[in-house]
Amino acid sequence: MIDKLKELIAEAEAFTAQSKDEVEQFRIKYLGSKGLLKEYFAEFKNVANEQKKEFGQTINQLKKTAEDKVNALKDALESQEEDNGLYGDLSRPGEPIALGARHPISIVKNQIIDIFSRIGFNVSEGPEIEDDWHNFTALNLPEYHPARDMQDTFFVQTNPDILLRTHTSSVQVRYMEENKPPIRTISPGRVYRNEAISARSHCFFHQVEGLYIDKDVSFADLKQTLQYFTTEMFGKSKIRLRPSYFPFTEPSAEVDVYWGLETETDYKMTKGTGWLEIMGCGMVDPNVLDNCGIDSKEYSGFAFGMGIDRIALLLHQISDIRLLSENDVRFLEQFKSAL
């Protein structure tokens, strides 16, 4: 009989219910006035004296197990009812989550990275708070060099050697210091210049600068790389290079792409010429290579840099650069379908 009681204890422990009716049937079966416990208590007087103690303990264990199970199941079912009343049907599919939108700067940056990654360029990053050496001196801009005036700089007042970087060329300097040629990298990031904020300029903006260093790199390699980029990015294959000046490249050039004159917007963007300036470039000055620990007699290279903001304004026909940093949800929602 004791073995039968132990079987009933195991059954009670394993019992589950999905409704209060099932719990009530279980209670009646074990704890009711005509239930199993009533029957076994009635049998107590017929048990041999040497088994009474164990028999009584087993009956009490069965009673406690059944009572605990009833209470636990009732609490669980009542809690479920409360949740359903508060939240509704918990088995319903959830409300659709509103999709966000990529920022136009992120869209254009990712496109540029993807294009250059196809021809072996990796991505390098560096600090936005920079020192004078990496931002200026290593790039052939020693102290008091007049070309420093080309970039109005935010300096840290307590330490004039620390500044907000004015270009991502500082990342290229750090990369050259830590890596040996061949080097093929692009450096996207935010830069800062002390300029008046208007519809066409801002005190911070975004750049992507590229660097390729190896043996026997020529200006022809640079032009072919830029030709590939403009075709992939804009669908325009006609480019021109105009002589220019940058302290860290020699020779240097501005790159224009032929945009065309098909619409009134094209006339405004290109000032009626059909040509649109998109970046600067040139062969890396040997002094820059030597400053970064690369032998300029053995290696040569080219560099280029472009503004992500300007390309974003161009591709998405955005009239005011300030819209890119105001976080207006109405503006950003326009780019939900973009990559």
- Reading the block at residue 168, the tokens are 């991502």
- Reading the block at residue 46, the tokens are 């017929």
Question: How far from chain centre, in Å, is Cα 141?
Answer: 34
The arithmetic mean of pLDDT across residues 173-191, rounded, is 95
From CA 178, how far away is CA 246, in angstroms rounded?
24
Of all residues in the chain, the percent with pLDDT exceeding 70 is 92
For 104-335, which CATH class? alpha beta
- 3-state percent helix, strand, coil for the chain, nearest multiple of 5: 45, 20, 30
- The yes-or-no verdict on residue 339 having pLDDT over 60 is no
Helix intervals (H) in the chain: 2-14, 20-31, 36-43, 49-87, 104-117, 132-135, 169-178, 219-234, 264-270, 286-291, 308-315, 329-332
Instruction: pLDDT band for 81, please (50, 70, 90 cuts).
Output: low
Q: What pLDDT is recorded for position 90?
A: 63
CA–CA distances in Å: residue 20 to residues 8, 130, 162, 258? 21, 69, 72, 78
Element (H, E) at 131: strand 129-131
Q: Average pLDDT over the chain, rounded to whole?
A: 85
Read off the pLDDT of residues 17-48 as tens digits, 9 standing for 90 and up: 888 888 888 888 778 877 777 777 777 677 77
Number of H helices, E strands in the chain: 12, 10
Q: Which residue has the tokens 């190896």?
A: 214
Task: List the Cα angle 308/313/314 in 5-degree steps.
Answer: 95
3-state helix/strand/coil string of 219-246: HHHHHHHHHHHHHHHHCCCCEEEEEEEE
- The yes-or-no verdict on residue 324 having pLDDT over 80 is yes
Cβ burial of 94 (10 Å; 0-12, 13-18, 19+) is: exposed
- The yes-or-no verdict on residue 49 having pLDDT over 80 is no
- Reading the block at residue 191, the tokens are 């830069």
The domain locations on the chain are 2-87, 104-335
CA count, 13 A, side-chain hemisphere, 82: 6
Read off the pLDDT of residues 87-140 as tens digits, 9 standing for 90 and up: 566 676 766 677 777 889 999 999 999 999 999 999 999 999 999 999 999 998
